[in-house]
Chain A
Amino acid sequence: MSKSYFDETHCAIGHPKSTFMQWMLTIDHKRIGLMYAAVMFTFFFVAVATAFVMRLELFAPGAQFIDGDTFNQAFTLHGVIMIFLFIIPGVPAVLGNIVMPLMIGAKDVSFPRLNWFTFWLYILGALVALASLFTDAGFADTGWTFYAPYSLNTGTNVIFTLVAAFILGMASILTGLNFLVTIHRLRAPGMTFWKMPLFVWGIYATAWIQLLATPVVGITLILAIMEKYFGIGIFDPAKGGDPVLFEHLFWIYSHPAVYLMILPAFGIMSEIIPTFSRRTIFGYRSIALSSASIAGVGYLVWGHHLYTSGMADTAKVIFSFLTFFVAIPTGVKFYDWVATMYKGKIILSTPMLWALGTIITFTIGGLTGVTIAMIGVDIHLQDTYYTVAHFHYAMLGGVVFLFFAGLHYWFPLVTGKMYNEKQAKIAFYLQFVGFNLLWFPMFIAGYYGMPRRYFDYLPEFQIYHQFSFFGAVIFITGLTYMFVVFFKGWTKGKPSGTNPWNATTLEWHMPSSPPPLENHSKVPYVDFEPYEYHHGEPVVKFDYETMKRID
């Protein structure tokens, strides 16, 4: 039995004997990805629990069991964890780390020690963010957007959250830098950009956003800290500053950040659809280029968050016009994926179910985003539950669903085991039904004028909140069950073999399962397309000792 990356590792410092220290100091990209996953999903569950507390509180009008201030801290905690600790680093840090180097035939990322440092920077950021929960003044109550001058005036501990977001931004920049260099320098010989798997394209487009957009939020957070403690007079109107400037600077980063979240997730979709259709992907280049153009145009549309913020009407028109051009490459991707299923052989395994479910939920999330790109309509819907429902359909029903799809897809690669398919499907259906019941009523409530971030509401909105509550119960049940299925799969699952899905990309051509420490035995030569099938079977076959083609 050959050794896997669970048995041996390289460390940042020295050669520790204890297993624990080997994990703490590991520079192996697969182990780092797993540690990110462990930490991130812990936070994810904290944020889900916080959201559930809010849903309970909102079950009926009036105060139930928490007060307005606690509620405000709860939605801030939920937003900060979900955005900064989970969904921004999410897919790149977990699946990008584990899978991307394997997909391009590399031994590791370009800078493994930097990768290790980045992980611990992330942990530091997380600790700083949560530390304020245990201070007197309490966790920030600003919302994850930290709008000035509220964030400058409030008595809660905003400084911790601002510093944490800054540190986490730094970690994000370093991840992006590491991945960019890796993709440019460590692709296997012969693998041109047009032969990269589409997940690598997604990671690549995202890495540029991480590198170029994140510094803007870093600068903004520093300015906010300087304003709060030294009164430099840039955002606070009482000191001659302009709060709308903060909104602009904040969204110059935070809007591209939503593409940073979704692009690697779309990459997962592009891996799963051809594999479970047993055929090559339709429109490879248009999918790859649409990722790049979404990343590009995404920089120029931040103003659509400010249609009601006192921005000039001309600026609104320009931002609205540009926003519609993000919708088009996104739409093209969806047509390409559906066309990939045409005359394929559709195998409805769990990863494929998640991918197809996401086609439904993200289509709703995307098209409702088009609604609020229309200026006149957004003036009514801005800051209502419609917007809340839209971004949860796009983020949870898009990014997180595809993240889950990826977890199911690469689970056998990471663990060498297979989960119980039947149980995993039950978990999917529970979450899919719960999700729609949870979020769809909010579109209606928002259209009728239910504002977001409301601790209490007018009685006629009660019915929507109650549907949402029952949706949340079903969703969380499915979510918990999914992780139970994963846990059982890892501890008691059957060995999966190296390529259980009959997939084509390089991460499935490992000498053993789970993969050994330094991945492929030899660096392969890539003279083939990423998704070559013939009559439903992968075309390219390797001898896993020599990594020479034997087909």
Chain B
Amino acid sequence: MDVNNTLSGFNSMAATFAADVDHAFWLNFWISIVLGMTVIIPMFYFAWKYRESNVKNEDISNNSHNTPLEIAWTLIPTALMMVLFYYGYTSMKTLRTMPAASESITIKVEGSKWKWKYEYPANKAGHVHKITSVYDKKIGGVKRGLYVPKGQKVILEMTSPINDVIHAYFVPAFRMKEDVIPGRTTKQWFEADKVGEYDVECAEYCGTAHSYMYSKIVVMERADYDKWFESSAKSPFEDASAPALSKGQSLYEDNGCAGCHSIDTDAILVGPSLKGIGAKHDAAYLKDAILTPDKVVPEGFYPGVMPPFALPEADVAELVKYMQSAK
């Protein structure tokens, strides 16, 4: 998949409801210009017209009331505010009215420090696509994303692990955003009508790598999507015949470890690099570092940054093996 770190597709009206939101925004913009000018233009005009050198003291008026005028500048803005309220409401209504599950694809989204995971419904062969999307600083882009077909309603069921923090799933090109909250499930939906790649940003402050918690929504032609969905390939852009990753390596990718810990270079992404970690620490230490990271924080790093990973015993063992193998 072609990766780049630019905000893709903002102006493309990529989601069906984006036009509604933009309409409400620009309506507000012009009403604001009009209301603002009714204050600012008279202010400049009076400051010039009644400037000190231009007014004799006898000509100063002490008028302090003008009932019709006061009614006008109360009621007209009130009416305009109600218009804006109405369009704020209608643009929300389309965003927030979930389509029927029967005509939609429901995808589970999990946001956690600092990765997005997607889980699809099972395909015909019974395979469940699970995708981990992390920002890769080395390539300056996102590896893998959320793959959806064009013209298809998609419901996102979003949550965060209960020991994590609040995130927000923000897609600027679609004009949609909703918080992703530990212990709760929140939902949003979209229907993309333009093929392309659209950035996803985390909009709720979540700590050290908040500004790297990107993902991408990749909108594809229906046929391309179906071909991938019915396969077991990790993504539509990866060769399914490529040599399979070791169990440990694929766990390392799927859990988003690579977003924070470089394993083949000394670079410090968020946490310490794991290059040559096997020579420094034994398996028990590495196991603790995954399950209870706050207990073994190395010099120069802070507790509370890495969330504990509650993985099955066997997976931890595989991960540790993979980490130890990294030279």
Contacts and interface: CB of A to CB of B under 8 A. Distances in A.
Interface of A: 68-69, 72, 137-138, 141, 143, 147, 149-150, 153-156, 237-238, 242-244, 277-284, 286, 307-310, 313, 316-317, 320-321, 324-325, 327-328, 331-332, 334-335, 338-339, 341-348, 356, 359-360, 363-364, 367-368, 370-371, 373-380, 382-384, 447-449, 451-461, 533-537
B118 interface: no
Contact of B166 (A243, A282, A331, A460): A243
Residue picked from B77, B93, B162, B205, most chain A C-beta under 10 Å: B205
B177 A380 contact: yes
A277 B208 CA distance: 52
A346 B47 contact: yes
Given A347-B52, A374-B28, A379-B21, A237 B182 contact: yes
Contacts of A243: 166, 181-183
B7 A155 contact: no
B163 A380 contact: no
Contacts of A341: 42-43, 46-47, 50
Contact of A282 (B28, B63, B294): B63
A335 B69 CA distance: 10
11 contacts: A68-B270, A69-B302, A238-B163, A338-B42, A347-B52, A371-B29, A377-B25, A379-B95, A380-B25, A451-B202, A455-B210
B66 interface: yes
A451 B62 contact: no
B241 interface: no
Interface in B118-160: none
B166 A375 contact: no
Interface of B: 5-7, 10, 20-21, 24-25, 28-29, 32, 35-36, 38-40, 42-43, 46-47, 50-52, 55, 57-66, 69-70, 73-74, 77-78, 81-82, 84-85, 87-96, 162-166, 168, 170, 172-173, 175-179, 181-184, 186, 199, 201-212, 270, 294, 302-305, 307
A485 B62 CA distance: 35
Contacts of A328: 74, 77-78, 81
A359 B43 contact: yes
A279 to B, nearest CB: 5
B211 A456 contact: yes
Contacts of B84: 324, 370, 373-374
Contacts of A334: 39
A374 B69 CA distance: 27
A376 B95 contact: yes
Contacts of A327: 77, 81
A308 B7 contact: no
B61 A342 contact: yes
B165 A153 contact: yes
A202 to B, nearest CB: 19
Contacts of A537: 57
Contacts of A242: 183-184
Given A341-B46, A360-B40, A244 B181 contact: yes
Contacts of B165: 147, 149-150, 153
A376 B179 contact: no
Contacts of B303: 155
Contacts of B210: 68, 72, 453-455
Contacts of B88: 320, 373-378
B92 A375 contact: yes
Contact of A371 (B32, B64, B90): B32
Contacts of B70: 283, 286, 332, 335
B50 A346 contact: yes
Contacts of B10: 448-449
Given A149-B182, A383-B204, A451-B170, 9 more contacts: A68-B209, A69-B302, A310-B178, A324-B85, A341-B50, A370-B81, A371-B28, A374-B88, A376-B20
Given A69-B208, A334-B39, A379 B179 contact: no
A374 B24 contact: yes
B192 to A, nearest CB: 16
Contact of A338 (B46, B92, B270): B46
A380 B19 CA distance: 12
Nearest to B185: A310
A244 B5 CA distance: 32
B57 A383 contact: no
Contacts of B294: 155
A284 B62 CA distance: 12
Given A238-B162, A339-B69, A449 B201 contact: yes
A324 B201 contact: no
A379 B78 CA distance: 23
A346 B51 contact: yes
Contact of A377 (B28, B39, B164): B28
A342 B168 CA distance: 49
Given A150-B206, A310-B186, A459-B5, A449 B199 contact: yes
B69 A376 contact: no
Contacts of B63: 282, 342-343
A383 B186 contact: no
A106 to B, nearest CB: 27
A237 B183 contact: yes
B176 to A, nearest CB: 6
A376 B24 contact: yes
Given A68-B211, A242-B183, A335 B168 contact: no
B177 A308 contact: yes
Nearest to A458: B7
Contacts of B208: 68-69, 72
A347 B70 CA distance: 25
Contact of A382 (B42, B58, B177, B201): B177
Contacts of B179: 308-310
Contacts of A346: 46-47, 50-52, 55
Residue picked from B42, B55, B62, most chain A C-beta under 10 Å: B62
A374 B304 contact: no
Nearest to A342: B46
B57 A359 contact: no
A49 B305 CA distance: 27
Given A448-B7, A451-B203, A147 B89 contact: no
B47 A356 contact: yes
A339 B209 CA distance: 51
Contact of B182 (A238, A447, A534): A238
A421 to B, nearest CB: 13
A244 B96 CA distance: 19
Nearest to B209: A68
Nearest to B96: A313
Q: Which 10 A-B pairs have the closest CB atoms?
A: A376-B91, A449-B172, A374-B88, A237-B183, A155-B304, A343-B61, A155-B303, A454-B211, A375-B92, A341-B46
A530 to B, nearest CB: 12
Nearest to A71: B211
A491 B290 CA distance: 63
A451 B207 CA distance: 14
A505 B37 CA distance: 31
Given A345-B52, A455-B211, A320 B85 contact: yes
Nearest to A323: B85
Residue picked from A374, A460, A536, most chain B C-beta under 10 Å: A374
